[in-house]
Every structure is written in structure tokens, then in C-alpha cells.
Chain A
């Protein structure tokens, strides 16, 4: 029997995507985003995407490039720069639809989709403006038990595709995540029909002799449709404990939002070539993987 081989290139992943798809992106703000795959989307002709996640440069760049019809987000932030500037522009120009969520609601909606449920109940969002001004399509549900409590029915956030970045993967789709916080990557993988994982290190087959290492497997390989080797692929976001985010590059990128035609200039400088050309333009792979980890 032939061994599984899920190895792909970023371009192969993007070839699987279609206009109008709902795409969840793992990571958190400026942390561990599958940016090499995002850059491949930026270079493509894809459009009208719905992007779901705890957003950072991924959402900002996709908005700037006109790829986005709708954002479903817990926030869109670069952490040390609290508001993603291209997201702000897209919002203030009314260019995109926005499903703004509480951070916890987003994980709850992904979890509902992961469990193939239509919704999960929560108190979060009640007594705020969420049901009046932000998401009037949301409904409440009354507990069928004696308490009779009224709760928000957080709708499932079903994804066509999830895109994630991990430390290590093998050709079968086994993965390892060594970051201090795995964020909600597991839920993105489970909420999606197909999940593509980029990784810093791709091996034939992971076979840990250390039980603690096996516990760094964030989800089972049956959820993984493809693995992409992308050393430095999270740049300019962080990939701790490997490398920190590139604060200088992020500032350069944010400055582009302040000038007319700034995004076109950024894209011209960094996105006209392939990933190797990108890495060259930002100082080379060696410089990326040596970026110091941020201290909070």
C-alpha cells in the first residue's frame, strides 16, 4: 500500500481555493500566521473571500489587496500596533462586510462547526449592542430546563478551508506545535472541510521517542489535507520559540497605509516575485530566523 504523501507547494494550496470561499487563518494577531500561503493568495486572482480569525497582517494585507468580501474577526491587531491600519481603512471606507465578534465567541463558533452543531449557547454578547447594531442576524435560545435562561445562540462558523503554520510536519500530515500558546489552530482545523498546514521543518515521518514531544501534536493528521514546507513562512509575524515578529518590517508596512498608493508600493517592493524573492527583499532567511523573540 502506498504511503500517504500530503506534501504540496503554497501555489498548489492556492490552486485549490475558489472565489467566494470562507477561509479560516490560524495564529493570533502578529503571531504564527501562515504568511507564505497568504502571500501566494495575494499574488493570485482570487476574490470575494470571507476570512475568519484572530486577525493581523493576514487580514490587513488581504483587505489592502482587495481580496476580501467579508471579515469574521475577534480583532485585527498587530499587538504593539493596536489597530491594523489596512483593516481600519477597509472598515472606514465601508469596503468590506464585518462580523465583529467577542474573542471568546469566535472560538465558540469555530467549536460549534468543529462539532457539526448549528450553534452553541453562551451568555456572551447579551445586553450589548451586538444583536442590535453589529450582528442583528444572531438569535437567542431559551434553556429547555427549569432555569429557563435566555442565551445567545452563537452560530457555527463553518470554514471551507483552514490555513495554519506549525513548527514541524511530516508527509502524512502529523504536526508539532512548540509555541507557548497554540491559540485556536485546532478548532480552525476541525471547523474546516480542508486544512493546509505550512511548517518550518518537513520530515518523512515524525516518530518521537519522547512522550512530551508527542503531546505537542495539536490535532490528528486526518484533518490535514496538505503540508507545505515554508521555512521562515510566518514572517513578518512571529514563530516563537523560533523567531520574533519583524517590528521594523511591520512598521514599514503600516506606514504604507498612510500614503496614497502605499499598498501598491509595498506589493511592488515585496510581492512581485516568489517566496524566495520575498525573503531576499526582507533581508534573507537567515535574518528572519534570527529575529529575536519579543519579551512581554
Chain B
């Protein structure tokens, strides 16, 4: 069996790591920022396989050419190539050479996302994280999203409660406001991969994870979805990718990210 052959035995978390890594393919020398365990393993996988030009940090303030291992107990063996304190992160992201993979709480049909709060802003029903970096990231550079719980509470029917990150809703863009630095590349969920390649940036499903049907994805989404012309099954991890994932996450923290750690190939619903 060749190292690059498709694996037959892999978990959904591992499939998602590979699909997430793919969002940075052909991005070149951009700062890749994956928020959360699966996106973080994914950025390391991307850098160690198809996208060596990516810049990534140690999770604190330094750039490293060797992705740090998840769950390390100390700083031994770390090698720093550069410095990336938050002030420089802001400079880099306002400059545009960054691609973040972020985790929204709500997403609407225009790709606008909410992580601020639910309900009235003055006295929210549920305060969440706040705007954090969403307004700045979304208007300045390319972003992708990771949603490990694809459902109608995330992909809402109407507009999100608080628009934190910009999207493709025309009414949101008054004359004179530049929208040409923004782009939403992909949304990777536990059911499928989507992009904004439909008419007027409508969301389309571009690949379905093994055992998932389009009808199932549509039923879990609060707005109508398009099917990409070449809708296919999400590419399975290769043995080589799985080896890199094990190297980046030797303690298998990835197995605790999705409820019951489902297999990558799910029995058809």
C-alpha cells in the first residue's frame, strides 16, 4: 500500500482535518490561523504537506516553520523563525495576507456570521464571545469557516442576530465602502464542504462527507442550498496525511472534539 493511497479506516475528525487543511491549498505565503483543535491540526497538516509557504504561530507570539504538537507539556524543542505579537497580527491582517479558519455560532445565507450575542444587544439573552476579530478579519482578508455541528440553529433561516463578520448581502454595503478585499472561501462542516460559488455568491454544497446525502444537509440548514455541478464525495484522507496528523496530535486530542468520535465513513442515513 502506498503512503499516498486513500485510507480505509479514519475518523470523521480526521476527515475534517484534511478538508480544513485544504482551505489553505495554493494560498502561498499567508498567515494561516486555525481557531480550535481541528483547525489548528489542519493548519499544521497543510503546511507540512501541500502548502509549505504558509506562516503559522506557536499559539502564543512566535512564528515557527515546524508546527507545534498539540498537548505539549513544555517548550522543549521549539524553534522560532519570527515574531508575531498581536500588534503584528493586526498589521498583517489589515494588510490582507492572512487566511483564518474561524468557528462561528450562527451563519446566514449571505455568509455573515455571529459570535457576539443572542437577543437584544443592550441586554442579551445570551452573551457570547463578542465581536472579537470578526469585523476586521472579514473585511480585510480571506476567511473560511469550520462548523462541527451543522444544523438549523447554526445555519439560520434569516439574518444572524448580530452581524459580526461581513458577507455578501448587498444591502449591507453602502456606496463607497470597499468590498473587494473580502472573500469567504469555504465552510467545512461535519456533513459537507460548501463554497460561495452560486449566482451572486449563493452557498453551494461542493462535497458531501461519506454516507451523507444532499437532502440531509438541506434538512439541517435554515436556508436553501445549491448543489455544485460536480458535487462529489469529500476526498478521503491518505495514509500519508494520517501519519502527519498522528505526528501533530500524538495524544489523539482530535478524538475528543466530536461527540462519540464518529467514523469517517458513516452508514448512509
Q: Which B residues are in CB contact (< 8 Å) with A91?
A: 117, 123-124, 127
CB of A181 within 8 A of CB of B61, answer yes
Q: Which A residues are in CB contact (< 8 Å) with B85?
A: 180-183
CB of B133 within 8 A of CB of A129, answer no
Q: Tell me, yes or no, whether A295 is within 8 Å of chain B by CB.
A: yes
CB of A128 within 8 A of CB of B87, answer no
Q: Which of A100-137 contact B (CB under 8 A)?
A: 100-105, 107, 122-130, 133-134
Q: Tell me, yes or no, whether A77 is within 8 Å of chain B by CB.
A: yes
Q: Tell me, yes or no, whether B248 is within 8 Å of chain A by CB.
A: no
Contact of B176 among A28, A94, A149 (CB under 8 A): A149
Shortest Cβ distance from residue A26 to the other chain B in the assembled complex, whole angstroms: 12
Q: Which of B87-135 contact A (CB under 8 A)?
A: 87, 90, 93-94, 112, 116-117, 121-135
* Most B CB within 10 A of own CB, among A130, A134, A183: A134
CB of A124 within 8 A of CB of B86, answer no
Q: Which of B138-181 contact A (CB under 8 A)?
A: 138-140, 162-167, 172-179, 181
CB of B90 within 8 A of CB of A103, answer yes
Q: Of B8-16, B69-77, B190-198, which stretch is located at the interface?
A: B69-77
CB of A77 within 8 A of CB of B129, answer yes
CB of A181 within 8 A of CB of B60, answer yes
Q: Which A residues are in CB contact (< 8 Å) with B112?
A: 128
CB of A104 within 8 A of CB of B136, answer yes
Shortest Cβ distance from residue A60 to the other chain B in the assembled complex, whole angstroms: 12
CB of A133 within 8 A of CB of B162, answer yes
- Number of contacting residues on A, CB 8 A? 45
CB of B164 within 8 A of CB of A129, answer yes
Q: Tell me, yes or no, whether A148 is within 8 Å of chain B by CB.
A: yes
Residue numbers of A with Cβ under 8 A of B are 28, 73-77, 82-83, 87-88, 91-94, 98, 100-105, 107, 122-130, 133-134, 142, 148-150, 180-184, 293, 295-296
26 sampled A-B residue pairs with Cβ under 8 A:
A74-B130, A77-B129, A83-B127, A83-B128, A91-B123, A91-B124, A91-B127, A98-B122, A103-B133, A104-B136, A123-B181, A126-B135, A127-B166, A127-B177, A128-B131, A128-B172, A134-B116, A134-B121, A148-B176, A149-B176, A150-B174, A180-B62, A181-B60, A293-B75, A296-B59, A296-B68
7 new A-B contacts, CB < 8 A, other than A102-B133, A104-B93, are A102-B136, A105-B135, A125-B135, A128-B112, A128-B163, A129-B162, A184-B86
